Amino acid sequence: MEHTKRYQLPEEEIPRQWYNIQAEMPNKPMPLLNPATREPMRPEDLYPVFAEELCRQELNQTDAWIDIPEEVREKYKFYRSTPLVRAYGLEKALGTPAHIYFKNESVSPMGSHKLNSAIPQAYYCKQEGVENVTTETGAGQWGASLAYAASMFGLNAAVYQVKISYEQKPYRKSIMQVFGAQVTPSPSMSTRAGKDIITRDPNHQGSLGTAISEAIELAQTTPHCKYTLGSVLSHVTLHQTVIGLEAEKQMAMAGEYPDIVIACFGGGSNFGGLAFPFMRHNFTGERNTRFIAAEPDSCPKLTRGVFRYDFGDETGYTPLLPMFTLGHNFKPANIHAGGLRYHGAGVIVSQLIKDGYMEGMDIPQLESFEAGTLFARTEGIIPAPESCHAIAATIREAKKCIETGEEKVILFNLSGHGLIDMASYDKFIAGDLQNYTLTDEAIRKNLES
Ligand SMILES: *Cc1c(COP(=O)(O)O)cnc(C)c1O
């Protein structure tokens, strides 16, 4: 019998609405707070920083379905739908009875899922008369996606890139520049926040936290300029639900439904994007899927962080967010999965963890690259270092099925390819990578500081 490898949806099946899980969560996320007054933020309070429609989406807890503008769907057609793939090669290499599927977001022109939110964010900015957009980027995936989307809609983009990544991943900067963006390593001397950070620590390697501070400051001091964020916030995850909505239809084509859904976790957007459309069936009791967010063990906010109000950035420019956090001044080790080096989790995911709808799983750096290498050799795609975490978690679960003999259906997100991250693979092959497992003491000290 011939086996289907890839499940493809025709263009007209690209979703017409995003799924807003906030409307259907049994316990809604707690409000974002104004740090000065401790009052809950209203959409209007966020207008100075983000496009207004994005502010309304951020705090929308009533509409479960939000229309995708036709212009956004037109741009999605450049690369969507993305394939759902059965990982027969990986299954065979592991000798597992599990059925492993992955949603391949690496086929986007920028190589990751980030474009799914960059396109609507640039679109709403353009609609509202904004001319300039700023942002931060870690590995450069978000910066590249925003640069691409900004160029599609005729906006200028200024990107602060985490210094360590700027140095480790030079080609991402080139990609951003091809699309006309201005790229600055962070911390930099171009903002007050950057100057303060460099004064305190001249050797600061940068983090998403420092870059966010700089990008927000630039947006607030430049006319007709808005800030955009590629993860963490609820509107970003909303846009990413195109992943899970497509996957749901594609799993049905395969005649299966996932027992376990897995994605890597930085701020939660690719995880939520894949997981939330499936999770809605857990809320109604119709399904009992397990949801696993794979995070680096050097940045374990989901499993070892605390739930409390904290800032989203290093300097404290953002509202206070109710989230699992390692402390906003946490400095993650210089692991190669740049997109996972963030101290906190989004407010939706944080509430879902509290309520037991999902769990975190910590993956050491070496295990992630071992998993990514096996995946490349069996499925023919070199995964992004971030995505390697999801693959490692998938392999752990698939190996459990060998012991129990269960034919579990596992679905994971291939959030991006690693073809621009080969410097990281070089280090892995040369034996120059290490693990950075944290002690309880180190975590506690940071939280108390
Ligand atoms: C940015 C990024 C991530 C992490 O971000 P989330 O918001 O947690 O999804 C994961 N994988 C890739 C390839 C990325 O670029």
Could you tell me if the CB of 209 is within 6 A of ligand 1? no
pLDDT in tens, 357-373: 999 999 999 999 999 99
Could you tell me if the CB of 413 is within 6 A of ligand 1? no
Residue-level pLDDT at 287 = 98
Evaluate whether 374 touches 408 at the Cβ level (below 8 Å): no
How far apart CA 69 and CA 67 sit, in angstroms, is 6
How far apart CA 159 and CA 135 sit, in angstroms, is 5
How many Cβ atoms sit within 10 Å of the Cβ of residue 288?
8
Could you tell me if the CB of 194 is within 6 A of ligand 1? no
Q: Whose CA is nearest to atom 9 of ligand 1?
A: 270
pLDDT in tens, 3-55: 999 999 999 999 999 999 999 999 999 999 999 999 999 999 999 999 999 99
Mean pLDDT, residues 389-400 taken together: 98
- Could you tell me where the DSSP H helices lie in 87-233? 88-94, 115-127, 141-152, 163-168, 170-178, 192-200, 208-221
Could you tell me if the CB of 415 is within 6 A of ligand 1? yes
How many whole angstroms from 234 Cα to the centroid of ligand 1? 14
Atom of ligand 1 nearest to the CA of 139: 15
How far apart CA 249 and CA 255 sit, in angstroms, is 10
pLDDT in tens, 219-276: 999 999 999 999 999 999 999 999 999 999 999 999 999 999 999 999 999 999 999 9
Could you tell me if the CB of 372 is within 6 A of ligand 1? no
Per the document, the length of the chain is 449
pLDDT in tens, 399-418: 999 999 999 999 999 999 99
Atom of ligand 1 nearest to the CA of 266: 8
Amino acid identity at 42 = R
Could you tell me if the CB of 270 is within 6 A of ligand 1? yes
Could you tell me if the CB of 269 is within 6 A of ligand 1? yes
